[in-house]
Structure 1
Amino acid sequence: MPPPDSSEQTSLSTNVRFVLITVFLDILGIGLIIPVLPRLVASFTLQSDMQAYWYGAIVAIYGVMQFFFAPVIGALSDRFGRRPVLLTCVFGLGLNFILLTQATSIYWLLFIRALGGVTAGNLSVATAYIADVSAPENRSKALGKIGAMFGLGFICGPVIGGLLGEANIHYPFYLAAVVSLANVVYGYFSLPESLSPEHRKAFSLLSANPFAGLNGLAHLQSVGPLVWVYALSMFAQFILQTTWVLSTELRFGWTPMQNGFSLFMVGISSVLMQGVFLTRYIQRVGDANAVLFGLTSSCIALSLYGVATQGWMMYVLILCNMLAFASGPALQAFFSRAVNARSQGLAMGSLSALASIMSVAATLTGTALLAQVSHFPRGSWMLGAPFFMAATVQLFALLLATRHLKK
């Protein structure tokens, strides 16, 4: 096959830029509500224990709905194309933000958030879009750009949302809705279709259920065992994410500003690795080593997070754990290259579903473990128990990856 001419390469680059901006605006909208969603839950409940219970339920129901519907959304994009499905999901996300401001009870809030989980498969469609317009050998680099957009969105979103939330609890939700709906308008006029009609396939609800999708991934030639690596890695990362704020408050007495700065540094590290260094890094070490080095770095960092005795150590460890941000795009690239163009949406949707159910399990496990050790005095190494669990799980992922990728 002759190499694409310069005009074709420019077109592909433009398409990628369009969808990356779409992903950034999407994540920005989600990031806007992160600092104020717990406060919105608290506005319907008075007791602190019930606030924690309902907040956990709202987070969990979003992940459960995403687990069941992300493969369906991905399969629909395989049938009707990426563009209409992506725009429909982003519109649904914007509508969900508006509905959250109109909730009159905690039960309505739970129901509305569940509806939001239905359209949360838009990110898997965006991933499939990137896979459509990227050459197989450049797949991990292109997917890494989505991770960079995640980082940028979470750098900007929570800071803006926190500031607006101080004025009015509903302002971040309104701004998130405006961002999402503006994203739909932008995409409608600027986003071209990436999946040609000859590469589309009929929709099958049987194959689009999450269990069938995951089973299909597990039996992919040469990469099936990596499903377990991906699942364990996601579980470990979600334990870290869901217990970070509570753990640092207990261990170091961190304020929201200090926690916000730490999350800002995480976003910076993600953007630097996935948006700046990833291309050259993958060219130098390859996808397999990027996975292994990233998992190794994560294991070490998680263990050190658990034994850190001073808050400043956490900042240093975040910066030293930059290699971990390369493992996700490299893993996704293995799966993307193992399926044909007709099944990219279903494959990415199945990975998204797997990540969502791991987020639910990790949230319930990590917070329960932290509750068990929360009575220990500040400075006790026992308060690092969630990080030690995450490190152990990540170690199992590393061992499985090493066994498979070194063959």
Structure 2
Amino acid sequence: MSSKTAIKNNENTSPKVASKTVRVVFIALLLDILAFTIILPLFPRLLQEYRVREQGDENTLLSLFLKQIQIFKEIIGGGTNPKWDLVLLGGALGSLYSFLQFAASPFIGAFSDRFGRRKTLLVTMIGNIISTFLWLFARSFGWFVLARIVGGLSEGNVQLSIAIVSDVTTQKTRSRGLALVGIAFAISFTLGPALGAYFASKDLAKLFPQFVEWGLNPYSMPAFVALILLSVETLYIYLALPETAKISKKNSSQQEESFNTKEEQPEYNINTISVSERKSNLRILNWIHFLYLFFFAGMEFTLTFLTFDLFDFTNMQNGKLLGFIGILSAIIQGGYVRRKAHNIGEKRLVIQGVLSCSIALAIISYLTKLSNGKTLLYIDGITWLYIGAAFLALTSATVVNCLTSIASMQCDDELQQIDEVQGEEDTQNINTLIPKGEALGKFRSSGQLGRAFGPIAACGLYWISGSGICYASGSLAMLIIFIIVRIKVPFIKKSKNE
């Protein structure tokens, strides 16, 4: 399918078109998240590099940030470890990036409903490329922050990928399709950090010293690799991705066969519940998404700082840890979630994932007592770290994807079949529908708000009280969320297809 080709309004999606579209989304998302995850294991030492380079200069943005940290330190009387300053600084950057995504996501979703998923995705890709180009030549901390700001406002690939998969799948096959999004995450989190750690050892400034005055720095090579990945992704989307925002679901039975669904299964029917009830469900899901990612993102973000702090992990060691989580998460996604989500129910998978996260954080909270060669049950601290990481892999494979699937089932596909509104009655009918792009944009926005405040809150607690209390608090919080999910997340009422 060429770049000019789109699935026309009210045109049925054949199994071939649906499968091809999901495959294009999977490959594009794989490239996108690879580029995104390259920087993850580099944060502690990247910030340390800027700190050393700009030390003594009182007129830099980094100096301003560090002064505020020092004032905060004097007020609360905590944070005696100098490495913890970088933890708090890193948390602030992570929070800034996610807060900008929180602000932009609803507009990106609504824009895609009106102008199309493909066009919107291409526009956001241009912003991602600009962001990475700025990082490539970020000689100062200020330029690096600017790159993160542009990237935060532009990142729309994940939410648009989810909307596209929801466009071309039925409610019966949606969890299987969205599991591919999770698999793309898992593979990218396996390879991306390792790529970042590897290319961080290649100093582009030494290879091309004539460009040092332009801003090349010791961490420009990972940025260059990310820029190549994003450029390839943009070209691939332009050439291969069709427009999906206007397609019809009349041919849903054929789509189900394309996803190798061999048995008749119950299918969720949004017509069985009122619009007001579905809107209430979405509000509940948005709040749970916020709470979960507030704590999970905070713990996740501090993980590489914890390994740097306790075990003095290198970039490569952090890359291996994140890679382990990614590989195991991909296996769980493909072998368990994608096969079982519709049968056992998305809510049960969410419950399993949240409980697994609580166990993981409890294990990691105990690591502070095992950092000096001590053992627990004859197992050393690093081995326990990997055991905790295994539980985190189950969490990564289940919670967000299944919550997203439940949220998408509250939306109306019919809104996207109407090209023009004729008459007052049609206008009133449309106003009672829930547009998918906008609803999923708000759902993702709530999660990004959690990601915005989670890292800074977790890094602040880590900085004040240490890693043990930080992760123990996270474990307790996940137990509370576990209870909330059991009570508040709506069960998907299903009826047999006729």
1:143 aligned residue (175, 178, 191): 178
User: Which residue of structure 1 lines up, in the alignment, with residue 122 of structure 2?
Assistant: 87
User: Which residue of structure 1 lines up, in the alignment, with residue 284 of structure 2?
Assistant: 225
Q: Is the 8 A contact 1:18 1:191 kept in 2?
A: yes
Q: Is the 8 A contact 1:287 1:330 kept in 2?
A: yes
Q: Is the 8 A contact 1:28 1:176 kept in 2?
A: yes
Please report how far the alpha carbon of residue 131 of structure 1 lies from its aligned counterpart in structure 2 after TM superposition: 0.8
1:338 aligned residue (387, 410, 414): 410
After TM superposition, the structure 1 = structure 2 runs for residues 125-204 of structure 1, keeping only pairs within 5 Å, are: 125-168=160-203, 169-196=219-246
Q: Provide the rounded CA distance (Å) in 1 between the counterparts of 2:301 and 2:325.
A: 14
User: Which residue of structure 1 lines up, in the alignment, with residue 443 of structure 2?
Assistant: 351
Which one is further off, 387-396 or 252-261? 252-261
Give the TM-score normalised by structure 2.
Answer: 0.70
Please report how far the alpha carbon of residue 255 of structure 1 lies from its aligned counterpart in structure 2 after TM superposition: 4.3
Q: Greater helix share, 1 or 2? A: 1
Provide the aligned C-alpha RMSD in A.
2.7
Q: Provide the rounded CA distance (Å) in 2 between the counterparts of 1:373 and 1:83.
A: 46
User: Which residue of structure 2 lines up, in the alignment, with residue 236 of structure 1?
Assistant: 295
The answer to whether structure 1 residue 68 and structure 2 residue 68 are counterparts is no
Deviations 1:217-268 (A, max 9, x none): 9971445323222212111211221111222344445444433222111101
1:401 aligned residue (485, 488, 494): 485
User: Which residue of structure 1 lines up, in the alignment, with residue 358 of structure 2?
Assistant: 299
The answer to whether structure 1 residue 98 and structure 2 residue 106 are counterparts is no
Q: Is the 8 A contact 2:99 2:451 kept in 1?
A: no
Distance 1:101 1:307, change over 3 A: same
Which one is further off, 355-364 or 23-32? 355-364
Q: Provide the rounded CA distance (Å) in 2 between the counterparts of 1:253 and 1:170.
A: 23
1:108 aligned residue (132, 143, 146): 143
Q: Is the 8 A contact 2:99 2:448 kept in 1?
A: yes
Please report how far the alpha carbon of residue 104 of structure 1 lies from its aligned counterpart in structure 2 after TM superposition: 4.8
Q: Is the 8 A contact 2:290 2:449 kept in 1?
A: no
Distance 1:120 1:333, change over 3 A: same
Distance 1:387 1:56, change over 3 A: closer
Q: What secondary structure, in the 3-state scheme, does the structure 2 residue paired with 1:338 have?
A: coil
Q: Provide the rounded CA distance (Å) in 2 between the counterparts of 1:56 and 1:320.
A: 23
Q: Provide the rounded CA distance (Å) in 2 between the counterparts of 1:290 and 1:87.
A: 33
Deviations 1:242-299 (A, max 9, x none): 1112223444454444332221111012111223321222144211211222222222
The answer to whether structure 1 residue 277 and structure 2 residue 344 are counterparts is no
Q: Is the 8 A contact 2:292 2:450 kept in 1?
A: no
Q: What secondary structure, in the 3-state scheme, does the structure 1 residue paired with 2:283 have?
A: coil
Distance 1:9 1:354, change over 3 A: same
Q: Is the 8 A contact 2:411 2:439 kept in 1?
A: yes
Q: Is the 8 A contact 1:299 1:392 kept in 2?
A: yes
User: Which residue of structure 2 lines up, in the alignment, with residue 31 of structure 1?
Assistant: 37
Please report how far the alpha carbon of residue 10 of structure 1 lies from its aligned counterpart in structure 2 after TM superposition: 2.2
Which one is further off, 122-131 or 46-55? 46-55
Deviations 1:33-54 (A, max 9, x none): 3344555544543359837365
Q: Is the 8 A contact 1:141 1:329 kept in 2?
A: no
Structure label with greater radius of gyration? 2
Distance 1:178 1:314, change over 3 A: same
User: Which residue of structure 2 lines up, in the alignment, with residue 387 of structure 1?
Assistant: 471
1:10 aligned residue (16, 23, 32): 16
Give identity over the alignment, percent.
26
Which one is further off, 105-114 or 43-52? 43-52
The answer to whether structure 1 residue 312 and structure 2 residue 312 are counterparts is no
Deviations 1:35-82 (A, max 9, x none): 445555445433598373654443332222111111111111111111
Q: Is the 8 A contact 1:298 1:321 kept in 2?
A: yes
Distance 1:56 1:37, change over 3 A: same
Q: Provide the rounded CA distance (Å) in 1 between the counterparts of 2:334 and 2:460.
A: 35
Distance 1:371 1:320, change over 3 A: closer
Deviations 1:333-360 (A, max 9, x none): 1110101134222122222222222122
Q: What secondary structure, in the 3-state scheme, does the structure 2 residue paired with 1:369 have?
A: helix
User: Which residue of structure 2 lines up, in the alignment, with residue 121 of structure 1?
Assistant: 156
Unaligned runs of 5+ in 2: 1-11, 56-61, 67-84, 204-218, 250-274, 371-380, 416-434, 492-498
Distance 1:250 1:174, change over 3 A: closer
Q: Provide the rounded CA distance (Å) in 2 between the counterparts of 1:106 and 1:256.
A: 19
Distance 1:406 1:18, change over 3 A: closer
Alignment: residue pair count? 378
Q: Is the 8 A contact 1:217 1:347 kept in 2?
A: no
Q: Provide the rounded CA distance (Å) in 1 between the counterparts of 2:317 and 2:148.
A: 28
Which one is further off, 278-287 or 77-86? 278-287
Q: What secondary structure, in the 3-state scheme, does the structure 2 residue paired with 1:196 have?
A: coil
The residue type paired with residue 345 of structure 1 is G
User: Which residue of structure 2 lines up, in the alignment, with residue 204 of structure 1?
Assistant: none
Please report how far the alpha carbon of residue 116 of structure 1 lies from its aligned counterpart in structure 2 after TM superposition: 1.3
Q: Is the 8 A contact 2:91 2:459 kept in 1?
A: no
Q: Provide the rounded CA distance (Å) in 1 between the counterparts of 2:300 and 2:294.
A: 10
